[in-house]
Amino acid sequence: MIWTDQTHFFAATDCKHLGRPCPAAERMIAKLAEAMTKAKPLTQEDFEITGTSALDGCPRKCPAQFVASHDRIRLYCGVGEDAPREGLDQFADAILNRDGKGFAAGALKSRPCALMEALPKSAEARQAEQMMAL
């Protein structure tokens, strides 16, 4: 699923348990995007937060690992803090990045049941949307 808000473009895979994007994960990535937008004027370009969380409202109470920077936010559902981020990033790149390389998912120690990504809109994209709304 793909959607936008005022500041970000979002992409989500279907949860392998729900058969659709997880609403709890959608809420979490939207909150992370909102937090990063608010933090941008107060932080440097290389600012990054990482962590794990239980997805509030997820029917399976999945853990999730996240990494948020001003360039990209990713949320990996169904994996805990012990899952190596390098493999998760390679997996996500293979699925979400148009320039992504193939990746053997069997090499992952912890495979996410779903993943989401948020990319900030450029100033030009935001301006074009404002012009179209007039």
Return the half-sphere exposure (C-beta side, CA atoms, 13 A cut-off) of residue 83. Answer: 27
Give the pLDDT confidence of 61-97 residue by residue, as tens digits: 899 999 999 999 999 999 988 888 888 998 899 888 8
Report the predicted TM-score, pTM, of the whole model to 2 decimal places: 0.88
Distance CA(118)–CA(8), nearest Å, equals: 6
Give the pLDDT confidence of 88-134 residue by residue, as tens digits: 998 899 888 887 777 776 777 788 999 999 999 976 766 666 667 76
Query: What was the pLDDT predicted at 102?
Result: 74
Give the pLDDT confidence of 3-50 residue by residue, as tens digits: 999 999 999 999 999 999 999 999 999 999 999 999 999 999 999 999
